[in-house]
Structure 1
Amino acid sequence: MVAVIKTSRSINSILNYNENKVKEGVAECINAMNYPLELEKLNFTHKLNRFLKLSSLNENAKRNSVHISLNFDPSENHSKEKLIEIADTYMEKIGFGKQPYLVYQHHDAGHPHLHLVTNNIQRDGKRIDLHLIGVKKSEPARKEIEEIFGLVKAEGRKQKEDFSLKPINVARVQYGKAESRKAINSVLNKVLFDYKYSSLPELNAVLNLYNVHADRGSEDSRVFKNNGLLYKILDQNSKPIGVPIKASEFYSRPTLKFLEEKFKTNDTEKESFKKYVKNAIKLALFRETIISPEKLSKILERESIHIILRKSKEGQLYGITYVDHKTRSVFNGSSLGKEFSAKGIQESCAFNILAFERKNQNSITADSEYFQDPESREYVKENLANILLRGEKINDYVSKQFKQKKKRRFYKGI
């Protein structure tokens, strides 16, 4: 089981989100705890007013609403009664057992999950402290509940789950807005909060892997002028398909303003992972005879580093982005340094090609001698395109030691 806790200033928006899911037929309110009426007798106003009354007891609390999702393994198929019991046990263990809360069972994802809606203002007006609640209370509660109810444990599966997100199957996407939103939302929930990106192109480098694209529109469009953002599904040719959806229509509200805040925090957080990615690239270039950025891309896939090569219509490489799935960090090539930019990688490939050729001609004694020669470097820069094209023929070369010696034939006399 995986628990995700989010806090908010508006209980109204959280409640509306879940109730709208119920109206769409993809969710059901299965329990209401600490309410004066039974679940069947509660309408939207009853549910909302119970929270608002408690919130009014402490107007100084900036974030007084709590939205929790409990996510189970796709292989688990628990009864409604068991899910209610799991939710009640979890809320009790994290200190919300006496608070009013609603339990919604959602059916809009590939795995069973619950949404719990509550607030943290108690009857005496004091608030329940939310600081580090995930680490201090939620994690211990989750582990205990996995043991008590015999659930599939999150540990041991985490490494596999990191790469379990599958691209949207565009062949199955219906062009109705609700289906598109559901498909895009599953990708956004994973990428937006798990990966560290510091620009819209870096975010799209990850989203595009799953057939989703965040688009500001053209500079003269209304969307761009109003700082809006649209999310689109891409087809097999990376072309938009279906109806674009406004960022404000998703529950997490991944608007441009939201992303700009993420850019700032992510830029700092991913700094410590630069060295790992740079070393992986350097090691690949050192160990392998890499003669093209495409070959480098295939080699780095072994280290879970995905390379996005941006090319012009003429096929010329002008940009490169690295997506490291291990640290979940995204880097534009130039942000790692000149040698990791599109131009730098192409030059490294050209060096490898010339070094390979000269070795076979016995014209140099070591790579280092050649690479340290300023004239050779200038030659590579001036003749980059020709050298790279020449590299395609390198694989035709076969070392003498691997060539089979011709066998002598012996004929017996008659």
Structure 2
Amino acid sequence: MVAVMHSSSSLRNCLNYNEQKVKTGHAKCLEAGYYPMDAADMSVYQKLARLEKLTELNQRTRVNSVHFSLNFHPSENPSEELLKEISAVFLEKIGFAGQPYLLYQHFDAGHPHIHLVTTNIKPDGKAINLNNMGRNQAQVARKEIEIAYGLIQADKQQEREVNHLKPVNVQRALYGKMETKRAIAGVLNTVIKNYKFSSLPQLNAVLGLYHITADTGSEGSRIRAHDGLVYRVLDERGNKVGVPIKASDFFDRPTLKKLQEKFVQKETEKSPEHRSRIKTAVDLALLRGGTDLPGLAEALKKSGIDLVIRQNADGLIYGITYVDHVKKTVFNGSELGKDYSAKAVLERCAKTAADEGKKQNGEAEKLGQGRAVKHGWQSVNTAQNFTSEGKNIMVPGVVETLLEPGEQPDVMDWQLKRKKRKKKRQYLPPV
């Protein structure tokens, strides 16, 4: 079992996230712990009101809601009663005994998992300390529950797979094939959480790989005027399709303001090692014969790096972005140095192609010379330049003439000609 914790300042968002899953049939509310009524008998507002009454007792604590997810191994199939029992034991072990909570079972993943929504504000108005709870108390409780209930124990590798499950299982959001908002949310949660990007174009370089874009609106639009942000699905040609969805409609609210804060934070997370890895991959790809951008892109893919080319409406390339899926970093070419900008890479590709051509010509010339030597012919100057009336004329040399498969001349070589003997005239003496 793997326990994941998320803290928030909005109970309403946490609750709405799970209730929307219930509406679409992807979740079920199993229990309302420490509520006066059963979950099935309450409306969404009644569920929310119980928790909000506690948060009103402490106005100073900004983070007042907690959202846990408990993930089980795919081979396990715990019953609803067992899930209720495990949830109650887990909350008690981490210090949430007696706190009202809502338990949801989700069906939108390849492994069984549940979500717990509660508040860290107690009935006396004091706040439960959340510092490092997900790393400390939650992990201790998780291990004890695994042993007590005979669950499959999660080692570090399994924890990593579940915590980063979405990057592994993210599918391209194809318009018309899946619920648009759900598809966008899955990609956003993965990319924003895991990738290191320092601008909106860099974020879009990653999102574009999954047919999604973050759109600030056109010049003069209402969205642009209010610093808004919407997310849209792209078709195979990069055209925007479907209805745009506001950033504030998503659970984590990835608005432009929040993203700008992340740009600053994530820029500091980029290290020289991250830059060096991409630069080395580009250099090796060109060295091995990546003679054009498609060839370079294909070579970089083998190293887990996507090459995103930025073009204007006329098809002119004005920028390159490198997306490293191994280190989860995004860099513009100019950030890596002049040699990795769009202009420089195009020039390097052209030079590589020219060098490759020279190399092939050189090898062909050596091959021809080798054949000449093998047959005992002179191997230098197989073609000679002659000038006639100011024009350069290429005249075949000895090797080409001898190897030419045309008609052979009737005149034999002068050395093979037999000299014609002149008959001496015999002069008869006069009678």
TM over 0.5: yes
Q: Superposed, which structure 2 residues align to 1:354-393 within 5 Å?
A: 354-360=354-360
Aligned residue number for residue 282 of structure 1: 283
Alignment match of 1:172 (pick from 164, 168, 177): 177
CA distance in 2, matches of 1:398, 1:155: 59
| Residue 3 to residue 19, structure 1, CA distance change in 2 (3 Å) | same
Quick check: 2:173–2:180 contact (8 Å CA) kept in 1? no
1:314, CA displacement in angstroms? 4.9
Choose 1 or 2 for highest CA Rg.
2
Mean Cα displacement is larger for which, 51-60 or 183-192?
51-60
Q: SS where residue 227 of structure 2 aligns?
A: coil
Given the two structures, how large is their TM-score scaled by the length of structure 1? 0.78
Counterpart secondary structure, 1:32: strand
User: 1:142-221 maps to which residues of 2 (within 5 A)?
Assistant: 142-145=142-145, 148-151=149-152, 153=154, 155-156=156-157, 158=160, 161=165, 162-170=167-175, 172-173=177-178, 179-221=179-221
2:132 corresponds in structure 1 to 132
TM-score normalised to the size of structure 2? Answer: 0.75
- State the partner residue of 2:222: 222
CA contact 1:109–1:186 (8 Å) conserved in 2: no
Distance across 2 between alignment mates of 1:346 and 1:40? 63
Offset of residue 217 of structure 1: 1.4
Q: Higher mean Cα deviation, 113-122 or 334-343?
A: 113-122
Pick the structure with more helix per residue. 1
Contact kept, 8 Å, 1:323 with 1:329, in 2: the verdict is yes
Partner residue, 1:239: 239
Q: 1:208/1:14 Cα in 2 relative to 1: closer, same or farther (>3 Å)?
A: same
Deviation of the 1:265 alpha carbon: 0.8
Distance in 2, Cα, partners of 1:5 & 1:315: 46
Secondary structure, in 3 states, of the residue corresponding to 2:302? helix
Question: What per-residue deviation string (whole Å, max 9, x for no partner) do you get for residues 243-279 of structure 1?
Answer: 1111111111111112111111111112342232223
Structure 2 unaligned regions, length at least 5: 372-431
Contact 2:175 2:242 in 1 (8 A): no
Match of 1:249 in 2: 249
Structure 1 match to 2:344 = 344
| Aligned pairs for 1:108-123 within 5 A | 108=108, 112-123=112-123
Shift of the 118–57 alpha-carbon distance from structure 1 to 2, 3 Å rule, reads same
Alignment CA distance shift 1:111-1:247 (3 Å):
farther
**Does the 8 Å contact 1:163/1:325 carry over to 2?**
no
CA distance in 1, matches of 2:39, 2:263: 42
Give the 3-state SS of the residue equivalent to 2:270 in structure 1. Answer: helix
SS at the partner of 2:291?
coil
Aligned residue for 1:220, secondary structure, equals coil
The residue type equivalent to 2:284 in the other structure is: L
Contact 1:7-1:65 within 8 A present in 2 as well: yes
Q: Please say if residues 104 and 116 of structure 1, whose CA atoms lie closer than 8 Å, have aligned partners that are also in contact.
A: yes
Over the matched positions of the two proteins, sequence identity in percent amounts to: 45
Q: Distance in 2 between matches of 1:338 and 1:163?
A: 33
Displacement after TM superposition at 1:77 (Å): 4.4
Alpha-carbon distance in 1 for matches of 2:98, 2:247: 35
* CA distance in 1: counterparts of 2:261 and 2:170, whole angstroms: 25
CA displacement, residues 122-158 of structure 1 (integer Å, 9 cap, x when unaligned): 3443322111222223344445555645348474454
1:297 deviates by 1.2
Moved more, 60-69 or 110-119: 110-119
CA shift, 1:184, in A, is 1.3
**Offset, 1:102:** 0.9
2:110 & 2:223 partners in 1: Cα distance?
32
The CA deviation at 1:319 is: 1.3
Partner amino acid for 1:167? R
Higher mean displacement: 324-333 or 24-33:
24-33
Deviation at 1:312, TM superposition (A): 4.1
- CA gap of 1:276–1:92, structure 2 versus 1, over 3 A, is farther
> Within 2, Cα distance between the matches of 1:142 and 1:63?
23
Conserved 8 A contact 2:58-2:121 = yes
Shift of 1:46: 4.3
Asked whether the equivalents of residues 235 and 241 of structure 2 are also in contact (C-alpha less than 8 Å), the reply is yes
Alignment correspondent of 2:69 = 69
Label 1:40 to 1:170 Cα distance change in 2 as closer, same or farther (>3 A). closer
Tell me the distance in 1 between the aligned counterparts of 2:51 and 2:99: 9
TM-fit CA distance, 1:3: 3.6
Taking the aligned partners of 2:51 and 2:203, their CA distance within structure 1 comes to 36
Query: Which piece of structure 1 moves more, 205-214 or 347-356?
Result: 347-356
Does structure 2 conserve the Cα–Cα contact (< 8 Å) formed by 1:305 and 1:324?
yes
For 2:96, what is the secondary structure of its paired residue?
coil
SS state at 1:190 partner? helix
1:90 is aligned to: 90
